Amino acid sequence: MMTASLNQSRAVPFPHIPEALRRQYSIEPLYLGSLGQSPEALEIDFCMPQRPLLETQILSCCTKNSHGEAPEPDFFWDLSVGTRTFCMLIIAALGAESSPLPIDLRCPNRSCGEELEMGLSLDDIFRLPAGNNGDGRVEVSVAAGPISFRLPRGRDQLAWQQGFFADEMIAARAMIKTLAIGEYGSKLEESLSDDEVRDIGKTLAATDSLVDFKLHATCPECQEDGVHRLDLGTLAFRHLRQSQARLLNSVHLLASHYHWTEKEILAVPSWRRNHYLSLLENGDG
Ligand SMILES: [Zn+2]
């Protein structure tokens, strides 16, 4: 079975980067490419339990400036969780075997249960609202007054995952303390009731529309309208994992035939790799 991807030599501009971040890391125009285009793609261990670490590794691998250099990892840690997920989706779509990125859903009508085949194209991804919220703020009103929050970043997510919290309430309070803007907000955290903490948690979670994404679909079989909740971050991971598996297959085929090393194969640009693979597929090798 041949596994070459049609999309592997495409690159698209990196989504909006907040001005402060751009200056802090002296960021030049950046581009996102597929996992298969990156020589470091095989270094990624998809079994790594902490998703933020894996995500930063993938983002570093697939983001380059016009000289082919990646920004330092700290830049990716400072991106909002929404922007990181958005980039992961773009990288997944660029390297997908078929376009649009397939999404498998099932009709919610129990007596039907028809499989619904939906897809997310690159254009659909660029129209997602989370692509624009890179430097946004969220304001939540509580009894003591309004509190402003910044959006969670990759490094916040990692710290929360690595921290130990005895229960969800303690974890939610820690999150509020980190994200509240200014001393006023973090002091206020101590006076918040548990209900207020829950409300703030819900509001903050709702700002990341990629984690709790809702897709409307009508079943072609029974015409039932359904709202499907999708975790687009998880969807991107699943496809990226498949991209790496296809890349491993390609390395195996080329190594078996041409006796090149893994390093030599990955140094060949993906368009040329795909060409060799298609020759082997057609029996011309
Ligand atoms: Zn149905």
How many A from CA of 116 to the centre of ligand 1?
Answer: 8
Q: Ligand 1 centroid to 231 CA: how many Å?
A: 22
**CA-atom Rg of the chain in angstroms:** 22
Q: Could you tell me which of 179, 162, 170, 155 has the C-alpha nearest to residue 75?
A: 155
| CA 215 – ligand 1 centroid, Å | 15
Q: Quick one: what percent of the chain has pLDDT higher than 90?
A: 42
From CA 174, how far away is CA 230, in angstroms rounded?
27
pTM equals: 0.86
Percent of the chain with pLDDT over 70: 92
On the 0-12 / 13-18 / 19+ scale of CB atoms within 10 A, 19 is exposed
Q: Is 223 left (phi over 0), alpha (psi -120 to 50) or beta?
A: left
Q: Two tokens at 18?
A: 């907040």
pLDDT at 91 over 50: yes
**106 CA to centre of ligand 1 in angstroms:** 8
Q: State mean pLDDT over 62-70.
A: 93
Looking at residue 206, its pLDDT comes to: 77
pLDDT averaged over every residue in the chain: 86
With left for phi above 0 and alpha for psi between -120 and 50, is residue 64 left, alpha or beta? beta
Distance 240 CA to ligand 1 centre (A): 30
Distance 47 CA to ligand 1 centre (A): 36
193-to-28, 165, 198 alpha-carbon distances in Å: 45, 18, 9
pLDDT value at residue 7:
41
Full strand arrangement of the beta sheet holding 30-33: 11-13, 30-33, 63-65
Q: What CA–CA distance (Å, rounded) separates 34 from 173?
A: 38
The two tokens of residue 8 are 């592997």
Task: Please determine, for residue 88, whether its predicted confidence score (pLDDT) is greater than 50.
Answer: yes
Instruction: Give the whole-angstrom CA distance, residue 188 versus residue 200.
Output: 13
Measured in angstroms, how far is the CA atom of residue 217 from the centroid of ligand 1? 10
How sure is the predictor about 107, in pLDDT bands with cuts at 50, 70 and 90? very high
Q: How far is the CA of 226 from the centre of ligand 1 (A)?
A: 9
Rounded to the nearest angstrom, the distance between the alpha carbon of 122 and the centre of ligand 1 is 27
Q: Which residues pair with 222 in a beta bridge?
A: none
7-48, pLDDT tens digit by residue?
Answer: 445 789 999 898 999 999 999 999 999 988 887 888 899 998
Q: How far is the CA of 228 from the centre of ligand 1 (A)?
A: 13
Centre of ligand 1 to C-alpha 43, Å, is: 42
Q: Are 265 and 253 in contact (CB under 8 A)?
A: no
For residue 127, how far is its CA from the centre of ligand 1 (angstroms)? 27
Reported as a single tens digit per residue, the pLDDT across 164-208 is 888 989 988 888 888 988 766 557 777 889 999 999 888 887 777
* Tens-place pLDDT, residues 207-258: 776 767 888 889 999 999 989 988 888 999 999 999 999 999 999 999 999 9
pLDDT reported for residue 3: 34
Name the nearest CA neighbour of 92 among 52, 45, 55, 47.
55
Q: Compute the distance from residue 214 Cα to the ligand 1 centre, in Å.
A: 18
Q: Separation of 113 CA from ligand 1 center, angstroms?
A: 6
Binned at pLDDT 50, 70 and 90, residue 135 comes out as low
C-alpha of residue 112 to centroid of ligand 1, in Å: 5
Q: Where are the beta strands (DSSP E) in 169-233?
A: 213-218, 225-230
- Longest CA span, the chain: 74
How far away, in angstroms, is 218 Cα from ligand 1 center? 8
Locus of tokens 């016009």: 66
Q: What SS3 class is residue 141?
A: strand
